[in-house]
Amino acid sequence: MRQLLWNIFYLLGRAPWDTGVTPPEVVDLIEGGRVQAGRALDIGCGTGTNAIYLARHGFQTVGVDAAWLAVRRARRKARRAGVSATFHTGDVLRLGTPKGTAIAAPFDFVLDIGCFHSLAAEQRQSYAAMLRRVLRVEGYYMLYAWGPRQMNGRSVGLTPDETRAALGDEFRAIWVRGGEERGAASYWYLFQRERQTR
């Protein structure tokens, strides 16, 4: 049902999250040299703006989105931009599993702008498990997520403490930067996956 809803937003041209502009936080991270070019995964890639940006900066980029219409537009945009990026329609929670979207993990860098915060609380463990499947040890994970708020009668978003707890100790927060969107708290995060010692 939600997959249909995402496609309707794109069909009607009313996907407010798909701005067509790579956020300055991503630009600063990539062009500042903290994350070296390698294999990148854009979770909830929309029409491919950020995946194309990463491809232009030397990354082998894969984008995944639940909306097939967004993915179709992303492929067209990448062709027009003259960059090589691969796009798939799929369930992000099943990435890296035998029944999930076929992607070749692991990745050096994973980007999520707005997917994680839309998940129900019971889906967060599955999301963290997906990250462990697709992100290599010592790889980087950049996340933009809303703070807690109500939207259409349901609770969405997380505090930084809730985000850290949901991801688990394997993901070390390098930095967290607070801001706001539409009058409510929002956060940018940079995590690095650490090797677990037992």
What are residue 151's phi and psi, to 5 degrees? Answer: -145, 120
Average pLDDT, the chain: 89
Q: What percent of the chain has pLDDT over 70?
A: 90
Q: Average pLDDT in the 167-182 region?
A: 94
Among the ranges 20-24, 28-32, 155-159, which has the highest mean pLDDT value? 28-32
Check pLDDT > 70 for residue 2.
Answer: no
Check pLDDT > 60 for residue 49.
Answer: yes
pLDDT of residue 3: 55
Per DSSP, the residues of 116-160 read: GGGS-GGGHHHHHHHHHHHEEEEEEEEEEEEPSEEETTEEE---H
pTM (whole model) above 0.95: no
Instruction: Give the integer Cα–Cα distance in Å for 140 and 52.
Output: 18
Among the ranges 8-22, 47-61, 177-191, which has the highest mean pLDDT value? 47-61
Check pLDDT > 80 for residue 50.
Answer: yes
CATH of domain 2-193: 3.40.50.150
Task: Read off the pLDDT band of 17 (50, 70, 90).
Answer: low
Task: Read off the pLDDT band of 1 (50, 70, 90).
Answer: very low
Per DSSP, the residues of 113-126 read: ESSGGGS-GGGHHH
pLDDT of residue 24: 96
Q: Where are the domains of the chain?
A: 2-193
DSSP for residue 198: -
Check pLDDT > 90 for residue 18.
Answer: no
Burial of 60 (0-12, 13-18, 19+ CB in 10 A): middle
DSSP for residue 13: T
How many other C-beta atoms lie within 10 A of the C-beta of residue 13? 7
Residue range 92-124, pLDDT digits in tens: 999 988 777 778 889 999 999 989 988 888 999
